[in-house]
Chain A
Amino acid sequence: MMKLWYGQIVSVVRLEMKKTFFSKRGLWVYLLAFAPVVLYMVHSVYATRQRQHLAQLATEHPISQAAFNGIKTGLSRDQVVAKLGEPYWQRTRYHHGGNGKKRSFVFYRYTDGKNDVSYHFEDNKLTWIHRRDPDTLPKSQLIFATSFQFYFLRLAIFFGCVGIFVNLFRGEMLDKSLHFYMLTPMRREVLLAGKYFAGLLATVVIFTSSTALQWWAMLWQFERGVIVDFLAGPGWIQFGAYLSVTALACVGYGSIFLAVGLLFSNPIIPTAVVLLWESANPFLPPLLKKTSMIYYLQSLCPVTAPPDKNMPPLINLLISPTEPATTLTAVTCIVLLTLLVLVLASRLARKLEINYGTD
């Protein structure tokens, strides 16, 4: 019997492959998944060119570090030019104040070959200095962790799973084709398992490949020696951890949205509820935090993302710090929750009745 069920699951997965990977309705999932890859690639290309550009500027017009250290706010434009020479980039703007007086705002940019330093003059007085340091690997790791946890896990994989897993049953209802499956001599549980594995295969392939490409694009801007040293150290472990977290997110969210697609004729309300619950996770008390998927997924991430700098201080106070779950606990909880949801969904599938009129 197991062999028959296995064969049927494989058949369903094969049939669903085209629908999950190449359906027009699901193309936006690729956009969600691969947008960060494009972002990292564009940034890496820009950073590499910028580094070369700054190095070239510094060789043509070298400025010592001591000269940079001597620039303080309050200096005049002429004093800055006397110490550093002419800037490699400048822009002047004029604004008319309320009293009709014309004010000048001048921006100068200098480089020492690695750092880009901007000076902001108001009416010829230096008022603001901004130093843009070059990207370093530790800094890039933090940036990767932040965008992975705040965008990729919480939104891209979440909405990707909504798009693919809800579509497995609800999409068939819309296409008025679910009865073809129902007419086959196949147990409903087997059909559900087949559809779940098809969705899982699609999401895992799409999102893990996106994670891998993001990782590669993030590292691409650094020199070969830096990358080799990093990979020889914690690099591969981190890479593996990110891929595993991505796959586990697909496993967990996939099961939830498969059940949602089966249970609700309008899955948007439960999706919004789950989204709000997952988004509110940082503000929940420790016990409630453990009832959301994102808590376990974040616990498995190799680098802790720093909190949002733009968050208002009052809201920042509401964040309740909680110890992350251990790897074993996190994986066990996600797998157990998935199994529980799938068992419940299979019980629902046994009583599933087709009503094509509601969508």
Chain B
Amino acid sequence: MAVYKQTYKDYSGTRTTPWFRFFILSRYSYARLFKSKFLVLFLAVCMFYPLGCAVFIYLSHNIPLLTALRLRSGAMPPIDGEFFNVYCVVQGALAFLLTTLVGPSLVAPDLANGAMSLYLSRPFSRTQYVAGKMTILLLLLSVITWIPGIVLYLIQAGCAGWDWARVHAWLAGSIVLGLWIWIVVLSLIALALSAWVKWKIAAGALILGVFFAGAGFGVAINNVTRTHYGAFIDLMQVVRTIWSDLFRNGSSADLSVTEAWTVLGVTCGLCLWLLARRIRAFEVVK
């Protein structure tokens, strides 16, 4: 029997540009995610509210229709900061549910099945791995949050005219910034918890728990100690405080805007630290 010498050789095919390598992970993950009919259905449901808002904006500028309905144009609620703040709250809640659905399956299976060394033995850094996994969530959440938000702003600008768009240009900035903050925080928390617990079911429960139990325990802290320190662990209240500030709405929150930004900064830092601890090419098994 002939024995041939087998040696490993360098890969000689074309390589993806280092800057875009992280996108390989996202591409394959999207292919897997969109096999789920439930996810597609959920994404469709997430579009109902923006669609309703678009119809509302169109109706509020349609004078003949308002006249036919015997409504004055001033009788409709104005399209202002409060309108877009409510939009952020609704779409932000849906973004949270989508993160609970998608987030846990991103990192946990790779860690649980020992795939991390396979990824990182290639010309692919830890940062690229995290960026690739995070891009999945960022793009998916963008589709249901700030992108329809900007479309609504453009519809309103189209209906109300250039003057409105110029005076309310800050609204577009607030929509993008406010919702980007939320989707970055959600993505980091989802990735960190998914990496930490290694079991996607537990990671999903933990993401739900961090937000719901955090809010509940925060209320308990406020009740028992008669302070507002509980608001620091209620991430939903934290982000609502920031949104109220960005959309120039009065807020009755227990937190100041500076405190809210600090809490978000600490949360993101903690998540990055957890990811840095967990995403490694080796694992010590005791």
Contacts and interface: CB of A to CB of B under 8 A. Distances in A.
Given A268-B101, A275-B208, A151 B220 contact: yes
A270 B205 CA distance: 11
B38 A269 contact: yes
A162 B206 CA distance: 10
Nearest to A174: B199
A163 B205 contact: yes
A286 to B, nearest CB: 25
B92 interface: no
B200 A266 contact: yes
B97 interface: yes
B142 to A, nearest CB: 22
Contacts of A310: 252, 254
Contacts of A254: none
B223 A147 contact: yes
A170 to B, nearest CB: 6
B213 A156 contact: yes
A356 B272 CA distance: 32
Contacts of B205: 159, 162-163, 166, 268, 271
* Interface range, A side: 35 or more
Nearest to A140: B224
A215 interface: no
A290 interface: no
Contacts of A236: none
Nearest to B104: A268
A57 B173 CA distance: 53
A155 B205 CA distance: 12
A46 B226 CA distance: 12
A151 B217 contact: yes
A123 interface: no
Interface size grouping (class) on chain B: 20 to 34
Interface string A276-318: 0001000000000000000000000000000010100000000
B221 A359 contact: no
Contacts of A174: 199, 201
Contacts of B254: 310
A94 B207 CA distance: 41
B206 A39 contact: no
B225 A43 contact: yes
Given A28-B206, A268-B205, A275-B208, A359 B200 contact: yes
Contacts of B158: none
B192 interface: no
Contacts of B226: 132
A269 B219 CA distance: 25
B201 A268 contact: yes
Interface in B217-266: 217, 219-221, 223-226, 252, 254
Please classify the interface of chain A as helix (H, G, I), strand (E, B), loop, or mixed, using the class held by over half of its residues. helix
A161 to B, nearest CB: 11
B143 interface: no
Contact of A150 (B100, B220, B252): B220
Nearest to A265: B201
Contact of B100 (A43, A143, A268, A279): A268
Which residue of B213, B220, B225 has the most chain A CB atoms within 10 A of its CB atom?
B220
Contacts, number: 86
B212 A155 contact: yes
Contact of A268 (B204, B216, B217, B225): B204
A272 interface: yes
B202 interface: yes
A32 B219 CA distance: 14
A275 to B, nearest CB: 7
A350 interface: no
Interface in A223-279: 266-269, 271-272, 275, 279
A150 B216 contact: yes
Given A268-B101, A272-B100, A166 B201 contact: yes
Interface in B175-210: 197, 199-202, 204-206, 208-209
B201 A266 contact: yes
A166 B208 CA distance: 15
A151 B38 contact: no
A155 B213 contact: yes
A140 to B, nearest CB: 9
A119 interface: no
Nearest to A162: B205
A308 B218 CA distance: 13
B203 to A, nearest CB: 9
A132 B217 CA distance: 23
Contact of A25 (B97, B199, B252): B199
A43 B219 CA distance: 15
B210 to A, nearest CB: 10
A43 B202 CA distance: 32
A144 B85 CA distance: 34
Contacts of A143: 223-224
Given A43-B224, A150-B220, A155-B217, A25 B202 contact: yes
Nearest to A42: B225
B267 to A, nearest CB: 18
A308 B230 CA distance: 14
Contacts of B101: 268-269
Contacts of A266: 200-201, 204
A150 B38 contact: no
Given A25-B202, A36-B217, A155-B216, 4 more contacts: A132-B226, A151-B220, A155-B213, A271-B204
9 contacts: A32-B213, A39-B224, A43-B224, A147-B223, A151-B213, A155-B213, A266-B204, A268-B204, A272-B97
Ranked 8 nearest A-B pairs via Cβ: A268-B204, A147-B220, A151-B216, A155-B216, A151-B220, A155-B213, A159-B209, A143-B223
